[in-house]
Amino acid sequence: MSKNIYTPGVVSVKDHSDNSATLTIEPLHTGYGMTLGNSFRRVLLSSIAGAAVTAFRIEGATHEFTTVTGVKEDVVDIMLALKGIRFKVYSDEPQTLVLNKKGKGKVTAGDIETTADVEVVNKEHVIATLDDAKGVIKIELTVETGRGYRPVDETAHRKSNDMIAVDAIFSPVKRVRYKVENTRVGQITDLDKLVLSISTDGTITPREAFEEASAILINQYTALAGQTRIEHTDSISAEGAEDETEDDTAELMTPVEDLNFSARTTNALVNNEIHTLHDLVSLNDAELRDLKGFGAKALDEVKDKMAEMEL
């Protein structure tokens, strides 16, 4: 095991959609993949700032266990739908919004009258259905910013009697998954690579959520570290693997097509998304054997090349 604790870097970000991405972080000291992966997952799901409806009032409804004339759904159904609206709020103060809809048809989040400080992200989200051509629904909403989850009893005491308080889920992060893989730097082969997949509700990008979670963790640990500092080894940059010299960096970025493998071996590597020498040296023998179309002869060829290059 290396005595150095490497400072990791985000070496790649793969966007699956506007709201979903996978980040690859390496190199990590042995065992740190699980440590950081679990820390990031907990912070991402519980502590990223967001906005949500915390209370509402429907004209003609005195409490949540009632119905509204001309509206298909009862107040409980409407309350559940209101909790699914996602907002971007550019103020720390609670915001009051109004939804006023007339005529038969669906009532969506896009019908909410917003202000300069509030933006509705999922405008197509259905809140209720007016089933009468003369039907009218008027809703007053209170939208607040926060972190994590706030139960209804922490909101109710701050609202006026005619407002119905709701429990609020502020977190914009919907799902976080991670896995830990092996990686290497030079001759050190027992390092970790963290692959972190993040999905959000659209009010924040996965990269922004990751950076906010990182900042939260930094603030927590810095407050506890005092004046103690640990020497570290430079990280890999986001553009590619970085070792101790620029020559090593350039060598690790060599395309597999330039390594003089047989055509069969080269095609097998490329078809399995292994495009550079860095990608190749990050895999152990077992992982290479598991590659589709990669046989024993190809493995021997790769091992001979690694020995030739002193990798």
Structural domain includes residue 245: no
pLDDT category of residue 240 using cuts at 50, 70 and 90? very low
Domain total of the chain: 3
Model confidence pLDDT, tens digit, residues 70-126: 899 999 999 999 999 999 999 999 999 999 999 999 999 999 999 999 999 999 999
Residue 214 has pLDDT above 50, yes or no: yes
Say if residue 53's pLDDT is above 50.
yes
Q: Which two tokens stand for residue 14?
A: 């793969």
Question: What pLDDT does residue 241 have?
Answer: 41
Asked whether residue 63 falls in the same domain as residue 150, the answer is yes
The C-alpha atoms of residue 94 and residue 56 are separated, in whole angstroms, by 12
Chosen domain end from 112, 135, 169: 169
The reply to whether 244 falls in a domain is no
* CATH code for the domain of 195: 3.30.1360.10
Q: What is the pLDDT of residues 114-162, one digit of tens each?
A: 999 999 999 999 999 999 888 899 999 999 999 999 998 887 655 566 7
Could you tell me if 154 and 182 lie in one domain? no
Residues 190 and 287 in one domain: no
Give the domain CATH number at 127.
2.170.120.12
pLDDT attached to residue 244: 42
88 and 162 share one domain: yes
Structural domain of 227: 1-48+172-239
Report whether 82 contacts 53 (CB < 8 A). yes
Same domain, 42 and 177: yes
- Is the same domain home to 155 and 10? no
Among the three residues 205, 239, 273, which one is the final residue of a domain in this structure?
239
CA 291, 297, 299, 301 dihedral sign is negative
User: Looking at residue 65, what is its pLDDT?
Assistant: 84
Picking from 28-42, 80-94, 148-162, 210-224, which range would have the lowest pLDDT averaged per residue?
148-162
Both 138 and 271 in one domain: the answer is no
Domain identity same for 135 and 192: no
Instruction: Outline where DSSP puts E strands in 123-234.
Output: 126-130, 136-147, 149-150, 164-165, 168-169, 173-185, 188-200
Compute the residue count for the chain. Answer: 311
At residue 243, the pLDDT reads 42
Same domain, 216 and 300: no
| Gap between the Cα atoms of 93 and 226, Å rounded | 34
Per-residue model confidence as pLDDT tens digits over 249-267: 556 677 878 888 888 888 8
pLDDT at 234: 55
Above pLDDT 70, what percent of the chain?
Answer: 89
Do residues 203 and 120 lie in contact, with contact meaning Cβ atoms separated by under 8 Å? no
201 is written with which tokens?
């509700």
What is the average per-residue pLDDT within 174-197?
89
Please say if the pLDDT value at position 57 is more than 80: yes
Q: Is residue 248 part of a domain?
A: no
pLDDT at 94: 93
* Domain endpoint, select from 169, 204, 225: 169
How far, in Å, CA of 108 to CA of 64, rounded?
19
Does residue 96 belong to any structural domain of this protein? yes
For residue 244, which phi and psi values (nearest 5 degrees)? Answer: -80, -15
In a domain, 109, yes or no: yes
**Which CATH number covers residue 270?**
1.10.150.20
- pLDDT of 239 reads 41
Does one domain contain both 258 and 199? no
Mean pLDDT of the chain: 86
> For residue 59, what are the CA distances in angstroms to 99, 102, 114, 242, 270?
11, 13, 19, 62, 62
Query: What does the pLDDT read at residue 127?
Result: 96
Residues 62 and 154 in one domain: yes
Confidence (pLDDT) at 284: 77
Residue 247 falls inside a structural domain: no
Torsion on CA atoms 204, 210, 213, 217, rounded to nearest 10: -160
Average pLDDT, integer, range 36-43: 96
Q: Is residue 120 part of a domain?
A: yes
Indicate whether 130 belongs to any domain. yes
Q: What is the DSSP string of 14-47?
A: EEEETTEEEEEEEEE-TTHHHHHHHHHHHHHHHS
For the chain, percent of residues with pLDDT exceeding 90: 52
Do 37 and 79 belong together in one domain? no
pLDDT for 242: 40
What pLDDT sits at residue 190?
84
Q: What is the mean pLDDT of residues 204-213?
A: 95
